[in-house]
Each structure stands twice: as C-alpha cells, then as structure tokens.
C-alpha cells in the first residue's frame, strides 16, 4: 500500500477526538510549537515541545482538512524515537561498566546456586521453580549478547535450544500463556536475531514452543487465547473463564516475528485476531480503552479501565506493532492514539503546585476513579514518548515525559528505590488515601513499600533519555544503580526489598527471591541508558514487554526455508489433518506463507473443535 493511501485510510479511521486534543493543545497556547529547550520537564507543560520543533503552523479549533492531512502525513511518515546526534556524557562509560559487572556478579551467582532452574533464592542460596524451564537463562540470554558476554551467551543458547517443550515441567502441567510467550519465546527470537540469524537450532525450538502455545486458542470458542496451556494434553485451560487483556493481547510482537522467521503466517493470524477483537471491544465511556477482562469470544467482562497490571502491555503492544509493521494496518495506531486521548481526558490527573504538579494515571471502575497507581503503570511514560514521537505528536510526548518524571519521583525515598504502588491526592482534593488527611502533601504515602525488581520506571527513563538527551535521566539512573548495589545486595546475587524506606541493610529487609526479569529488564535498561545509543537503537529494534529486542518487521528475513523441518501445526480436535511438503522442504502449517506473500489454507483449521467455556454464557 502506498503512503498516500495509508494516510487517507488513517484519516478516515482516526476519531475526531484525537484531532481535537491536538487542536486544543495548539490553540490553548497560541504557539508555533518551537519552544524553549531549557523548559523543565517536572513542570506542568504538557503542550510545550522542547527539543521537538514542529512546523510553524497556527492551529485553531476550526482546523481545516488540509491541516489535518498535514498532521496525519507527518504521523504516518514519522519514525525516529531517538534524538538525532545523541551523544553520551563522559560518565556513561564508567556507569555502563558498573552495570555489566553488577549483572555478571548476579548471573554467576545464579549459575553457581540455581543453574537450570527458574530463579535463584539469594538468602537460602538455593533455587525455586515456577515453569521449571530455566527462566533466568532465557531472560538473561539477550542481555548477555548485548553486554558482550559471548561465552555465556553461547552457553545460554545451547541450553535454550535443548529445552524440551513437548510436555509441561510443572506440577499440574499448566504453563502461563502470557509469561511463556514474553519470556521464553521472546527471548529465543531475540537472541536468534541479535546473533545474526544463524542459530538454527534455537529458531527450531522457538517454533516448537510456538506450536505448543497455539493451543492457548480454541478457535471454535472465539479469537481470544486462554490464560494457561497444558503442554501434556495439548489443550487450553478453559476453566479460567475470562482472560485479562494484557495476557490475551501481548503476543503479537512475538508471533508476528515467528511468522516472519518461519514463513508460517498462522502465528501472526491468530495473534492479530485476538488483538483486533480486544481493540474492537472498547468500553463505551472510554473510546480506545477496553475492559480489563475479556472472554474467549471477544466480549468484554466488567468495567475496570486502567493502564496498570492486567491491562498494561496490551496498550504497549498496540503502538509497537504499529511501528513493527510500518502501519500496514491502521487499526493498531488509531486504537492506541484514541486510547491515549481518552486517558488524557478522563484518567490523567495532576497534583498541586506544592508537590511539583506531578502527573499520574488513575484507574476507572464504573463511575468511580481509583487515585492510586502501581509501578507497573509507569511503563506508560516511555510508551507515550515512543508513540508520540512516531506520530509526531508533541502533546503526547510531553505527557509521557511528565508521567516519566512523576514516576521517577517515587524513587525519592531513603533508599533511592521506589515502591510497588503509591497513592496521591489531586489539586482538587480528590483521592485521599485511607487514613490520610487531605491537607497533607498530595504524594503522601506508598500503597506498597516493596521493591519487586520491576523495571518500568527505569524503562521510561531510558526512553526519555533517548528522546531528549536530557542529562538528568543519566544522573537519576546512575543513582538508582548505586542504590540497588547498596541496598539490594544479598548473600548471593541481588534481592527484592520488603520496605524501600528502610536503610539498615538488614537481611530481614530482603526477599528470598530473584525475579528473572532482573536480568532481562532492570540490568538491560540500565545498560541501555549508558550504552552507545546506536548500538541497540530504539529506531531499529522494538522491545517486547520483557525487554527482549526484536527487529523491525521489514528487516526480518524468512530464514527457516530448507534448513529446518517443522511438524505440522496440531489443530485442536483435528490432529490427523493432511499436510504436504513445499518446494522449500518445510511442511506447511495450516496457513503457510509462500514466496509471493499469499497464503495457502488447510481445510478445517479455523473450525477446530468447540470446548465448553464455562464463561461463554455469562452476561
């Protein structure tokens, strides 16, 4: 599709509210959108555009069609997230080296006490298993490559290539569809691409895992995958009823990449159907935003609207898939932009001047708002920065920067590390946390004092650095790194913290667990803050929600070809389907992409066999 055609479709699809928000932004300040580069990000200036000069166009409420067209053309053609010519400060090299040495210490301790198991227990000097597949090895694998630990990376690739996904390794035989997709599948695809598309055995095992995960869908019940899969029986756990949209809608980056690498469109097709069903089921008061829960049929369940856990990565993947596919389908970018617009109007809140006019996101449940925010929702800052840059929308970028700065402020604790959740009071006095008087400072207490090694605040700070070049993000990240080293160091490796306000260095403030995403996300995002921005550029790599970088779609070669043999995809209820061999020596799965980009359908695929869904008749 040519660019002009895409633009016209986007104009037709984009709701007026998105344009009205941009129009109001420009009209309110009567500005040409070129602005003071020294403007402070902590201040409440959502419509100014420091470091993001735009065309000197005066836009008013009565915006003309021609100006709308110009805005959308820019949005479609935009693509640079990183500030051109971004250079590192002199302190970056030392900080990058410190991140690497800290990571290496933690990873070697894992190897010593927990190799082959999911997670290290840093107090007990033992291990624990959730999936029993070696989660830390998978999650650390792309980080090992990016940091240049070649021998350890090759060791991890060897391990991952030989994990047997033909059965579940856990008691009860169920694995999380979401976690297995983002951690294991995402890691293998990322490592395969980072290392030059040459580890054929790794891709083969990624496809075997992808085939297993396809059982999360029961096509006869609807387009939404279930929350867990039984690898032993090759079936979804339909007793779970509804799934949350983060779990159901955070697989498109991985399955699209798997389709492109194997030449098999089945994975992409199913993931797009699920994503599209969620996007087509918005909550009426909130255009673009979907209820947190969704049935397999695609029908929404309940009225909780949020960017926090259970919702977060669905919205994250909308704009990232828009970028990965170069806006081949306008649904993804349009839905994301509409969701942001609704959020700005109805969920975004600010505190008073006394507390720096911080910006936070509430959650809605029916007609009420929850004036608290978990650290998981802090990904939104970086996501809005990225999306705003892609759409050339300075309004969204600056909201993202304000959200990022507000989340960074939650690390202003005695340890310099932020808690898992926090409550706030807005300038109008709403949102008083239980037991707290309105007259106290609006940002007055954590709802959760624990630090669970979550990366979202650091993630957004990295996007802010790459987009603006503001050195305050470098300084903040360097302080966070020092705080982790000082307060989270355990007898072996690093630990979670029970209370970020305690500075006594007692081991009873440490949790006896190390999440695998410490290696996948926290250390990697910290390293990317201080690393050469052109090494792993945000303009050429797209990170899944576990921080595993995947290549832009147009740069992904189909490498399976004659190198690997793949078993036919086992359709639930139709295990005996007939397959043929293509000229490339790859057995086609039910829908096989051929060289021309067309698809060959295998009869019986989309019908499958209905499985009773206990939630299917729920109103």
3-class DSSP string for 286-335? ECCCCCCEECCCCCEECCEECCCCCCHHHHHHHHHHHHHCCCCCHHHHHH
CA distance linking residue 376 with residue 403, whole number of Å: 13
Who contacts 21 (Cβ-Cβ below 8 Å, separation ≥6)?
Answer: 341, 344, 345, 395
23: confidence class by pLDDT, cuts 50, 70, 90: very low
355: confidence class by pLDDT, cuts 50, 70, 90: low
- Judge contact between 26 and 33, C-beta under 8 A: yes
Average pLDDT over residues 240-261: 96
| Chain segment 147-194, per-residue pLDDT in tens | 999 999 999 999 999 999 998 888 777 899 999 999 999 999 999 999
Q: Lowest-confidence range among 63-77, 307-321, 494-508?
A: 63-77
Q: Is the pLDDT of residue 38 over 60?
A: no
- How much of the chain exceeds pLDDT 70, in percent? 73
Quote the pLDDT of residue 88: 98
Q: Write down the pTM of the prediction.
A: 0.79
Q: Is the pLDDT of residue 518 over 50?
A: yes
Quote the pLDDT of residue 446: 54
CA distance linking residue 234 with residue 168, whole number of Å: 10
Quote the pLDDT of residue 72: 36
- Judge contact between 401 and 425, C-beta under 8 A: no
**Nearest 5°: phi and psi at 555?**
-100, 5
Q: Is the pLDDT of residue 247 over 90?
A: yes
Burial class (CB in 10 A: 0-12, 13-18, 19+), 540: middle
438: confidence class by pLDDT, cuts 50, 70, 90: very low
| Chain segment 460-480, per-residue pLDDT in tens | 999 999 999 999 999 999 999
CB count within 10 Å of CB 444 equals 17
CA distance linking residue 314 with residue 277, whole number of Å: 12
Q: Is the pLDDT of residue 310 over 80?
A: yes
Quote the pLDDT of residue 33: 23
615: confidence class by pLDDT, cuts 50, 70, 90: very low
Average pLDDT over residues 105-133: 97
67: confidence class by pLDDT, cuts 50, 70, 90: very low
489: confidence class by pLDDT, cuts 50, 70, 90: very high
pLDDT mean across residues, the chain = 79
354: confidence class by pLDDT, cuts 50, 70, 90: low
Average pLDDT over residues 250-256: 98
| Chain segment 548-605, per-residue pLDDT in tens | 999 986 544 433 332 223 333 333 333 332 222 222 222 223 222 222 222 322 222 2
Quote the pLDDT of residue 285: 84
367: confidence class by pLDDT, cuts 50, 70, 90: confident
Q: Is 545 annotated as a binding residue?
A: yes
618: confidence class by pLDDT, cuts 50, 70, 90: very low
Q: Is the pLDDT of residue 256 over 70?
A: yes
| Chain segment 380-410, per-residue pLDDT in tens | 999 999 999 999 999 999 999 999 999 999 9
- How much of the chain exceeds pLDDT 90, in percent? 65
Burial of 63-91, coded b for 16+ CB within 10 Å and e otherwise, reads beeebbeebbbebbeeeebbbeeeebeee
In eight-state DSSP terms, residue 221 is G
Q: Is the pLDDT of residue 443 over 50?
A: no
**Nearest 5°: phi and psi at 410?**
-70, -10
| Chain segment 188-236, per-residue pLDDT in tens | 999 999 999 999 999 999 999 999 999 999 999 999 999 999 999 999 9
């Amino acid at each position: 599709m040519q660019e002009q055609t895409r633009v016209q479709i986007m104009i037709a699809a984009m709701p007026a509210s998105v344009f009205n928000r941009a129009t109001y932004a420009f009209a309110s300040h009567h500005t040409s959108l070129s602005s003071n580069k020294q403007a402070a990000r902590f201040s409440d200036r959502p419509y100014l555009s420091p470091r993001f000069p735009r065309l000197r166009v005066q836009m008013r409420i009565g915006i003309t069609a021609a100006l709308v067209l110009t805005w959308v053309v820019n949005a479609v053609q935009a693509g640079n997230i990183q500030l051109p010519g971004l250079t590192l400060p002199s302190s970056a090299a030392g900080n990058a080296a410190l991140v690497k040495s800290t990571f290496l210490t933690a990873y070697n301790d894992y190897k010593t006490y927990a190799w082959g198991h999911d997670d290290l227990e840093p107090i007990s000097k033992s291990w624990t298993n959730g999936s029993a597949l070696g989660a830390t090895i998978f999650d650390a694998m792309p980080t090992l490559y990016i940091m240049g630990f070649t021998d350890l990376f090759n060791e991890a690739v060897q391990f991952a290539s030989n994990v047997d996904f033909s059965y579940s390794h856990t008691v009860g035989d169920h694995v999380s569809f979401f976690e297995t997709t983002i951690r294991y599948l995402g890691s293998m695809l990322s490592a395969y691409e980072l290392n030059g598309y040459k580890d054929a055995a790794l891709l083969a095992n990624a496809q075997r895992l992808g085939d297993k995960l396809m059982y999360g869908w029961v096509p006869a019940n609807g387009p939404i995958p279930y929350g867990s899969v039984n690898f032993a029986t090759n079936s979804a756990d339909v007793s779970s009823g509804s799934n949350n949209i983060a779990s159901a809608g955070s697989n498109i980056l991985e399955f699209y990449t798997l389709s492109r690498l194997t030449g098999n469109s089945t994975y992409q097709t199913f993931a797009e159907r699920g994503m599209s069903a969620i996007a087509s089921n918005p909550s009426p008061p909130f255009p673009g935003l979907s209820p947190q829960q969704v049935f397999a049929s695609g029908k929404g369940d309940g009225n909780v609207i949020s960017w926090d856990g259970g919702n977060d990565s669905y919205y994250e993947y909308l704009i990232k898939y828009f970028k990965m596919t170069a806006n081949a389908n306008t649904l993804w970018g349009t839905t994301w932009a509409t969701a942001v617009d609704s959020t700005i109007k109805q969920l975004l809140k600010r505190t008073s001047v006394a507390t720096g006019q911080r910006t936070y996101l509430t959650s809605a449940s029916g007609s009420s708002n929850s004036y608290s925010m978990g650290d998981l929702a802090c990904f939104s800052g970086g996501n809005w920065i990225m999306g705003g840059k892609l759409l050339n929308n300075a309004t969204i970028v600056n909201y993202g920067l304000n959200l990022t700065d507000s989340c960074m402020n939650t690390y202003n604790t005695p340890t310099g590390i932020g808690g898992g959740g926090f409550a706030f009071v807005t300038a109008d006095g709403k949102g008083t946390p239980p037991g707290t008087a309105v007259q106290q400072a609006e940002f007055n207490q954590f709802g959760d004092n624990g630090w669970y090694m979550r990366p979202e605040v650091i993630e957004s700070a990295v996007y802010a650095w790459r987009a603006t070049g503001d050195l305050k993000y470098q300084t903040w990240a360097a302080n966070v790194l020092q705080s982790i080293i000082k307060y989270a160091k355990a007898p072996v490796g690093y630990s979670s913290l029970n209370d970020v306000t305690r500075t006594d260095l007692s081991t009873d403030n440490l949790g006896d667990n190390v999440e695998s995403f410490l290696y996948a996300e926290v250390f990697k995002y910290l390293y990317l803050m201080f690393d050469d921005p052109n090494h792993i550029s945000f303009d050429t790599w797209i990170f899944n929600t576990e921080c595993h970088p995947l290549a832009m779609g147009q740069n992904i070669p189909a490498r399976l070809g004659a190198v690997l043999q793949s078993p036919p995809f086992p359709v639930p209820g139709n295990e005996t389907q007939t397959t043929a061999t293509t000229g490339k020596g790859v057995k086609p799965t039910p829908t096989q992409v051929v060289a021309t980009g067309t698809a060959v359908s295998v009869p019986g695929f989309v019908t499958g066999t209905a499985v009773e869904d206990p939630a299917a008749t729920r109103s």
